[in-house]
Amino acid sequence: MKDSQTVVANEGKFIDPRLTADGQARAHVALSNPDTLWFNTGTLCNITCANCYILSSPTNDALVYLTVAEVEEYLNQLEERRWNVREIAFTGGEPFMNPDMLAMTEAALRRGYEVLILTNAMLPMMRKRMREGLMRLNTTFPGKLTLRISLDHWDAEAHDAERGKGAFEKSLTGMDFLRDNNVQMAVAGRALWHESDAAARAGYAAIFKARGYQIDADNPAQCVLFPEMDMSAEVPEITEACWGILNKSPDSVMCASSRMVVKRKGAASPTVLSCTLLPYDEQFEMGTTLAEAEAEVALNHPHCAKFCVLGGASCSG
């Protein structure tokens, strides 16, 4: 499923997974250093954002809730395939809307993994059961749990323009709870087109200092600033020759180190995707098992070029 704006802007490109539009060998990436296994807990969310890449909303259940049993099965496969990943990461939708969220987190922590949860830190996370569960897990597994809060901008007005009036303050209330209970935090924001990276980080640093958040705004793993994903922009295709031209290794691209498990509405079982950013594009489905997901990935989408190879971004920070 391709975005219509993408098709117009890049007409004739990103069609053949083997060759670019001008007939050159398309770049492929092998799973060379598996570090993170992502689970999409479902696309349902408590809010509707203006530019959500996965179209999460209170009504979108295109990706349904994963269960703890399904997560456990993939954790078993991790051990069987000896991927030796460091981190299990959960995204959505809003993960804390999934009734199995705490159980899935605990399942990963009990096996010794670090756990990263992407959340807006709003009402679903702030329900009593979730708050009590997070405090318990953080105490039982110290230093192993991190919540990355979606704070689109350091300015309340800019953030609320994306997420709705009052969203900024609600997220800060959730972050205050995490601060007061010593839960490790990170932040994911957006680098607006008119703003330099340094200016954005300075804005975040001011908020972190004022509210006592132990987050280093200058550390790209703790304050992750994603480039804007303009689907109407024309982008170049990445060929095998580009690695040398760009002085870049395929190992640095996100699909060299991660995979994501999703469950589509009506499907009998979950499936594994090569990319966290492309949940609806069927060409990035790799199969239902981690063994199948060990195949190489063709960089056959504009996001592969702009976001990952040229932008240098990574969802794992």
pLDDT > 70 in the chain, percent: 93
226 phi and psi angles, rounded to 5 deg: -85, 140
> What gap in Å lies between CA 166 and CA 163, rounded to an integer?
8
pLDDT at site 202: 96
Interhelix angle 101-110/68-81, nearest 10 degrees: 20
pLDDT tens for residues 42-89?
999 999 988 888 889 999 999 999 999 999 999 999 999 999 999 999
Torsion of CA 304, 219, 249, 272, to 10 degrees: -50
Under 8 Å between Cβ of 111 and 141: no
Structural domain boundaries in the chain: 31-309
% the chain with pLDDT above 90: 81
pLDDT above 80 (res 275)? yes
Predicted confidence (pLDDT) at residue 315 exceeds the cutoff of 70: no
DSSP letter at 57 equals: B
pLDDT at residue 136 in the model: 98
The pLDDT of residue 194 is: 80
Has residue 169 got a pLDDT over 80?
Answer: yes
Tell me the CA distances in angstroms from 134 to 93, 97, 117, 139, 274, one per residue in order: 19, 14, 11, 8, 29
Residues 6+ apart with CB under 8 A from 301: 14, 275, 278, 281, 283, 284
Query: What pLDDT does residue 316 have?
Result: 63
Please give the Cα distance from 243 to 262 (Å, whole number): 30
Q: Which two tokens stand for residue 87?
A: 């981190």
pLDDT beyond 60 at 122: yes
Q: What is the pLDDT of residue 310?
A: 82
pLDDT at 312 over 90: no
Two tokens, residue 141:
């597994």
Indicate if the pLDDT at residue 172 is higher than 70. Answer: yes
Per-residue tokens: 266: 């009506």
Predicted local distance difference test score (pLDDT) of residue 53: 80
Q: Across residues 242-257, what is the average pLDDT?
A: 93
Question: Mean pLDDT for the chain?
Answer: 92
Whole-prediction pTM: 0.93
The yes-or-no verdict on residue 7 having pLDDT over 60 is no
Cα(26)–Cα(16) distance, integer angstroms: 8
Six token digits for residue 15 = 């069609």
- Asked if the model's pLDDT at residue 193 lies above 80, the reply is no
Looking at domain 31-309, which of 3.40.50.920, 3.40.50.880, 3.30.420.40, 3.20.20.70 is its CATH number? 3.20.20.70
Report the pLDDT value the prediction gives residue 229, as an integer from 0 to 100: 63
Alpha helices in 1-155 (DSSP H): 4-9, 68-81, 101-110, 123-126, 128-140
Conformation bin of residue 112: beta by default, left when phi > 0, alpha when psi is -120 to 50: left
Residue 31, pLDDT above cutoff 90: yes
* Number of CB atoms found within 10 A of residue 219's CB: 12
**Please, which pLDDT band fits residue 309 given cuts at 50, 70 and 90?**
confident
Query: Per-residue confidence at 2, pLDDT binned at 50, 70, 90?
Result: very low
